[in-house]
Structure 1
Amino acid sequence: MVNLNGTILDQNEVNITLENRGYKYGDALFETLKVVHSKIFFWEDHYFRLMASMRILRMEIPMEFTMEFLEQEIIKTISVNGLAKSAARVRLNIDRGEGGKYTPITKNINYSIVVDELENEFYTIDTKPYTVDLFKDYYMSPGLLSTIKTNNKIINVLGSIYAQENSFENCLLLNTNKNVVEVLNGNLFLVKGKTIKTPPLEDGCLKGVMRKQLIEIITKLEDYELLEASISPFELQKADELFTTNVITGIQPITNYRKKSFTTHVATLLVEKLNVKVRLS
């Protein structure tokens, strides 16, 4: 069952027309949420990122789009799918309705909520082999639009196909300045000695909610220094550790990049602190 503008429907009953702007122009954005026992992880951060993203896209935010209203709609959708006492992945999609060419003809806003069951309630470390490579066919643009979760994800799609064809678990994306910005499904962190580095938003990386949580955790660690600074491809093979982040997986260690193997010590430490933060929030 899905939630379309507040109405619960069977998935087969949902009709998206050819004039839908999200379908036609990618004029849409989304949030991916992890919900456990009807508690949305980091909901405030997701909500404020969503509001900021809608403003960047010049969407007119409906008056009813309060934090409480959207939370209720998410929990309602989880409940009708029998997942109120389980872990769930939620996609909250926002589009600008129907009609018009590039210029919208209305200020309508549609929303939809789709849920899937997840196995893990809290975050764990997966140390199975996880090999990545650079995806160099196309480059991301530095700047504000690259930092938000719009439905324009063609580079991520092409990178995923490249990874599948070459038996990689993931790929690293570059911007037009040839700096490493992120992976296909999340942010990137690099560990060298006692320094933990992640690309800055100015390089075009996603303004990830999990990225924000880890930055807050790392800045409180006495033994490590956090840097938000550009990462060149040459730094990857000199790193002690690489890991990726998103709100569904939490932290995913990268074990191999080309001929280099990496440790997972810092990722393991951070997962423990992340779960403590989740429990206390």
Structure 2
Amino acid sequence: MSGMKLINYQGELLNSEVPFLKDNRAFRYGDSLFETIRIINGAPHNLGSHINRLFSGAKILSYNIPSHYTEDFFRAEIGKMLQANEVELGAKIRLHLFRAGGGAFRSESDEVNYLITGEKLPTNEFVLNNEGLSIDVFNEVKKERSILSNLKTGNSLLYIMAMNEAKKKGLDEICIMNQNQVIIEASQSNIFLVSNGVLYTPPLSDGCVGGTMRMNLINLALENKVTVYESSLSPQNLLVADEIILTNAIKGVQWVGAFRGKRYYNKMARTLVDYLNGVNLVNSDLGLQENLKSS
């Protein structure tokens, strides 16, 4: 992967190799939201879902969103940056939204700025990992359930600590638990279990990030007659599952090969990747509405 030479800051294309740091609240206090978006065939995948989540978070954080900050506006701004960087196939971008102005914990303004950065990717479709991931559970810090739980904010210390623990243990990923001792997600992904051909995933009410790929795959599964349930998950549920699948907007689907002493298959993971690429290659900007069965 290679970083793009030009970034988009408030509509202005800047050289990414020239250091610049505005005295902004995103840097000082983590007063920000972000979306990581996959680019396929030179266009953003599932952009509508990303923008909807971004604006939902902005409402919770009391950001004053300009009326022209629409899905079409950001599609154009992303496109401008991709064209300037000669991106025609696969890439990933980060769309940051942060409160402008100064102030300490009491902000001076609720106006917002945006920043778009990115990297080119070697593939133009979602590719399943060849080797299964090894995972475990992070126990040191639990994720508290709140109105912030489902958002992607600039405060990622929990996930950083979790991945540092995974690194120490020689793991590929690690699962996050909430204060009720149930597994809600992995440090960089949402999580699904497969048992007897049925998909299970934690409900948003347990505190997981409301992943756009999570929503996408739930709907693809339902459209293809795969039963999906929202259900709280314990480590014991992982140990008796047939498969463990991790999902995010950039990598799509990844299969887990080992959790503690248990080994897993990847049949459903392969099927979901086929579903995903079948949709992406037809329409890279498809947004789907979530339709779940509740357990």
TM-score by length of 2: 0.91
State whether residues 8 and 81 of structure 2, in contact with CA within 8 Å, keep that contact through their aligned partners in structure 1: yes
Letter in 2 for 1:63: S
**Corresponding residue of 2:212:** 209
Whether the aligned pair in 1 keeps the contact of 2:62 and 2:110 (CA below 8 Å) is no
Secondary structure of the residue that 1:145 maps to in structure 2? Answer: coil
Matched, 1:183 2:186: yes
Report the AA paired with residue 72 of structure 2.
Answer: E
What is the distance in 2 between the residues matched to 1:94 and 1:194? 39
Contact 1:2–1:10 (CA under 8 A) maintained in structure 2: yes
Match of 1:86 in 2: 89
The DSSP-based 3-state class of the residue aligned with 1:99 is: coil
- The 5 A counterparts of 1:117-156 are 117-156=120-159
Of 49, 56, 81, 1:52 maps to 56
Equivalent position of 1:168 in the other structure: 171
2:208 is aligned with 1:226: no
**What residue in structure 1 maps to residue 292 of structure 2?**
none
Structure 2 residue matching 1:140: 3-state secondary structure: coil
**1:106 corresponds to 2:109:** yes
Deviation at 1:181, TM superposition (A): 0.5
Give 2:66's aligned amino acid: P
- Contact conserved, 1:196 with 1:227, CA < 8 A, in 2? yes
Structure 1 residues 73 and 14, CA gap change in structure 2 (3 angstroms) = farther
CA distance 1:219–1:129, change in 2 (3 Å): closer
Q: Secondary structure at the match of 1:111?
A: strand
Shift of 1:137: 0.7
For structure 2, the 5+ residue unaligned runs are: 1-5, 284-295
Distance 1:278 1:37, change over 3 A: closer
Aligned-residue offset at 1:14? 5.0
Which segment is superposed worse, 4-13 or 20-29? 4-13
User: Which deviates the most, 55-64 or 180-189?
Assistant: 55-64
* In structure 2, distance between residues paired with 1:27 and 1:51: 14
- RMSD over equivalenced CA pairs, Å: 1.2
- Report the Cα offset of residue 52 of structure 1: 1.2
Amino acid at match of 1:6: G
Letter in 2 for 1:35: I
Q: State the AA in 2 paired with 1:192.
A: S
1:62 aligned onto 2:66: yes
- 1:7 is matched with 12
Q: What's the TM-score once normalised by structure 1's chain length?
A: 0.95
The Cα shift of 1:92 comes to 0.5
State the 4+ residue runs in structure 1 displaced beyond 6 angstroms. none
Structure 1 residue 30 corresponds to structure 2 residue 27: no
Q: Does 1:275 align with 2:274?
A: no
Gap runs ≥5 in structure 1: none
Q: For 1:9 and 1:76, how far apart are their aligned partners in 2?
A: 12
Following superposition, the deviation at residue 233 of structure 1 comes to: 1.3
Question: 1:28-65: CA deviations, max 9, x gaps?
Answer: 00010111232111111111111111111110101220
Corresponding residue for residue 290 of structure 2 = none
What is the deviation of 1:12?
A: 4.2
Is contact 2:65–2:111 with CA below 8 Å preserved after alignment? no
1:127-163 Cα shifts (integer Å, max 9, x gaps): 3131001011101112331101101110110111111
Aligned residues between the structures = 278
